[in-house]
């Protein structure tokens, strides 16, 4: 291929992809699917005080919709607003959120209304922006830069971006040598299921004993937990874990002898008593169902599946310890990038719960005055609007996290591109973390090998390569994969 042809291909590749595409696609996913997920998880409000003559009463939340950015002028005229106008007039470029709310009394719907619950800042150049799909000539007429990539918010006239963060992949096995005294190897799993995050640690001691820690349960013998999950037959358990490997069989035999518990009930009592509970079995079942591998389910029916997964994890841990291998956690298959969807989901979920508490209080206060308040009356708080604006303006997030948003660097076009493509590690910059700072082989083609700041953040702040793309979360694609696996004969446990 001659030089001119390669130059043309490179130029075409750069033009075909937006440098802020990962910000835009992540934000669009949050608005189109993420918001409804949050509403569905909090879809029912059960007021303590009910209307007179009603046995069962609930407030049901339905479909959520987001409009386009608009502005209510002093003369009560509502009209669309552009990003340039928001910059000049120090406005927030946001759009209204409408939510369908219905009252259900004794399983019959008695009222339904679409109510305004607040406003959400809109990402410039996303589907929900007034500039979306606008031709170059029209953008110039509106005093907008036709080459502007978008991917940022405008809060009180200031351009703010959500910095993409790098973290270890959730629900993944990270097997390594254990630094804690008395233990040889361990596997860590950062279990994540929507808003439930539970770190798990399974440790192999110097004497080949296996322990698991998750939630309030600390160093529970792993064999005891497996029996509590319904795997009380020891011969079957050894076959499932060892699969004919004598060394793994010996390790499991040692654990069977050390923790001589025979039945499922006895195992549940052991776990419950470790939490000093009077109702030992019920407490053990509650902790196992709610906190053990929540991504596999959070009810009694999921125990068998959790047990099968735990058997797989233990088998891998013992095999790695025997072969003296470790999982390379700096390999990029073990990392995930969190953009707008992850951060806004966390923030919106937290604030929305407070909005629902206010709605419940307003409803009950109205009932005390001998009247049934309308849905519009109970959703009157501007808490959602103010908290979203405040967090995006300051970068202070839920969970005490800071620096999530930054002022967009506009010193030059290359500096803007660099800022939009920046990746920040969640590791603290005052720790050495030499391996995490090194250039890894899996960075090739994904990250710039040169651009990183000098000083404490060296290697922890990276930049996505110009032609690299970030894959999107796609539930439909996952369903297609599952369907294909079933066609090949894979059976559900």
Percent of the chain with pLDDT over 90: 44
pLDDT for the residue 308 = 92
| DSSP code of residue 272 | H
CATH of the domain at 155: 3.90.1100.10
360 Cβ contact list (under 8 Å, min separation 6): 45, 47, 59, 378
Q: Are the CB atoms for 197 and 43 separated by under 8 Å?
A: no
- Say yes or no: 125 and 141 in one domain: yes
List the Cα angle 134/135/141 in 5-degree steps. Answer: 90
Percent of the chain with pLDDT over 70: 98
- Say yes or no: 109 and 213 in one domain: no
pLDDT for the residue 1 = 54
Q: Count Cα atoms within 13 angstroms, Cβ side, for 236.
A: 8
- Say yes or no: 241 and 269 in one domain: yes
pLDDT in tens, 398-411: 888 888 999 999 99
pLDDT for the residue 475 = 58
Place of tokens 């808490």: 383
Backbone angles phi, psi at 117, to 5 degrees: -110, -10
pLDDT for the residue 474 = 61
Query: Under DSSP, is residue 319 helix (H, G, I), strand (E, B) or coil?
Result: helix
Is a pLDDT exceeding 70 seen at residue 155? yes
Parent domain of 229: 174-323
The structural domain count of the chain equals: 2
Cβ neighbours of 130 (radius 10 Å): 19
Q: Are the CB atoms for 379 and 115 separated by under 8 Å?
A: yes
Task: Strand 153-155: give its sheet, edge to edge.
Answer: 153-155, 158-162, 405-407
- What DSSP string describes 10-73? HHHHHHHS-TTHHHHHHHHHIIIIIHHHHHHHT-EE--SS--TT-SSEEEEEEEEEE---EEE-
- Say yes or no: 59 and 103 in one domain: yes
Looking at the domain assignment, is residue 394 inside a domain?
A: yes
Looking at the domain assignment, is residue 237 inside a domain?
A: yes
Is a pLDDT exceeding 80 seen at residue 204? yes
- Say yes or no: 63 and 140 in one domain: yes
CATH of the domain at 230: 3.90.1110.10
Is a pLDDT exceeding 60 seen at residue 177? yes
pLDDT in tens, 435-490: 888 888 999 989 988 888 888 888 888 999 888 888 876 655 567 888 888 888 88
Looking at the domain assignment, is residue 439 inside a domain?
A: yes
pLDDT for the residue 469 = 85
- Say yes or no: 284 and 212 in one domain: yes
Domain final position from 290, 323, 356: 323
pLDDT for the residue 375 = 86
Residue 47's pLDDT band (cuts 50, 70, 90): confident
CA distance 365 to 348: 25
Question: Taking residues 60-87, what's their average pLDDT?
Answer: 90
pLDDT for the residue 477 = 58
pLDDT for the residue 476 = 58
Q: Measuring CA to CA, which residue among 349, 397, 416, 337 is closest to residue 145? A: 416
C-alpha 345: how far from its chain's center? 7
Domain final position from 292, 323, 354: 323
Residue 186's pLDDT band (cuts 50, 70, 90): very high
- Say yes or no: 67 and 207 in one domain: no
pLDDT in tens, 97-141: 999 999 888 888 888 889 999 999 999 999 999 999 899 999 999
- Say yes or no: 128 and 223 in one domain: no
- Say yes or no: 275 and 363 in one domain: no
- Please report how the helices 246-258 and 234-242 are oriented relative to each other, as an axis angle in degrees rounded to 10: 140
pLDDT for the residue 393 = 94
Residue 317's pLDDT band (cuts 50, 70, 90): very high
- Say yes or no: 303 and 355 in one domain: no
- Largest pairwise CA distance in the chain: 84
Count, in order, helices (H) and strands (E) of the chain: 17, 18
Looking at the domain assignment, is residue 489 inside a domain?
A: no
- Say yes or no: 387 and 407 in one domain: yes
Query: Under DSSP, is residue 126 helix (H, G, I), strand (E, B) or coil?
Result: coil
Looking at the domain assignment, is residue 490 inside a domain?
A: no
Is a pLDDT exceeding 90 seen at residue 82? yes
- Say yes or no: 112 and 187 in one domain: no
Place of tokens 């539970």: 198
Which residue did the predictor score with more confidence, 192 or 431?
192
pLDDT in tens, 224-250: 999 999 888 888 888 889 888 888 989
pLDDT in tens, 5-35: 877 877 777 677 788 889 999 999 999 999 9
Tokens at residue 249, please? 């069989």
Question: Taking residues 56-79, what's their average pLDDT?
Answer: 89
pLDDT in tens, 268-315: 999 998 888 888 889 999 999 989 999 988 888 888 999 999 999 999
């Amino acid at each position: 291929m001659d030089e001119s042809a390669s130059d043309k291909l490179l130029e075409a590749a750069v033009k075909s992809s937006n440098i802020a595409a990962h910000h835009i696609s992540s934000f669009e996913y949050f608005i189109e699917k993420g918001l409804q997920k949050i509403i569905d998880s909090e879809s029912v409000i059960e007021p303590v005080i009910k209307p007179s003559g009603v046995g069962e009463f609930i407030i049901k939340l339905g479909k959520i919709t987001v409009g386009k950015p608009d502005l209510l002028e002093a003369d009560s005229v509502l009209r669309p607003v552009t990003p340039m106008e928001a910059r000049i007039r120090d406005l927030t470029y946001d759009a209204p959120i409408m939510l369908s709310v219905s009252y259900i009394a004794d399983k019959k719907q008695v009222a339904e209304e679409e109510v305004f619950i607040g406003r959400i800042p809109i990402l410039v150049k996303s589907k929900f922006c007034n500039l979306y799909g606008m031709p170059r000539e029209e953008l110039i007429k509106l005093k907008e830069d036709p080459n502007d990539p978008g991917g940022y918010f405008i809060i009180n006239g200031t351009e703010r971006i959500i910095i993409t963060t790098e973290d270890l992949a959730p629900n993944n096995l990270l097997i390594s040598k254990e630094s804690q005294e008395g233990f040889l190897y361990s596997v860590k799993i950062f279990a994540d299921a929507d808003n439930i995050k539970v770190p798990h640690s399974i440790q192999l001691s110097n004497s080949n004993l296996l322990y698991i820690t998750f939630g309030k349960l600390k160093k529970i013998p792993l064999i005891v937990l497996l029996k509590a999950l319904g795997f009380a037959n020891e011969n079957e358990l050894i076959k499932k874990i060892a699969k004919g490997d004598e060394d793994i069989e010996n390790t499991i035999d040692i654990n069977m002898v050390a923790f001589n518990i025979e039945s499922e009930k006895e195992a549940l009592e052991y776990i419950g008593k470790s939490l000093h509970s009077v109702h030992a079995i019920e407490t053990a079942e509650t902790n196992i169902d709610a906190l053990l591998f929540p991504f596999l389910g959070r009810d009694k029916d999921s125990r068998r599946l959790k047990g099968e997964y735990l058997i797989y994890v233990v088998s891998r841990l013992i095999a790695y310890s025997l072969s003296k291998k470790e999982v390379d956690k700096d390999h990029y298959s073990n990392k995930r990038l969190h953009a707008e969807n992850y951060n806004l989901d966390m923030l919106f979920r937290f604030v929305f719960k407070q909005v629902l508490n206010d709605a419940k209080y307003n409803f009950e206060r109205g009932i005390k005055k001998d009247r049934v308040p309308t849905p519009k009356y109970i959703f009157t708080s501007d808490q959602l609007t103010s908290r979203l604006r405040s967090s995006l303006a300051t970068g202070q997030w839920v969970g005490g996290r800071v620096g999530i948003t930054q002022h967009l660097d506009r010193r030059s076009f290359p500096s803007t591109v660099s800022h939009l493509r920046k990746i920040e590690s969640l590791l603290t910059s005052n720790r050495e973390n030499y391996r995490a700072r090194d250039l890894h082989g899996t960075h090739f083609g994904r990250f710039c090998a040169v651009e990183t700041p000098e000083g404490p953040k060296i290697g922890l702040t990276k930049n996505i390569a110009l032609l690299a793309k970030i894959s999107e979360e796609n539930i439909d694609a996952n369903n297609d994969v599952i369907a294909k696996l079933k066609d090949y004969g894979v059976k559900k446990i």
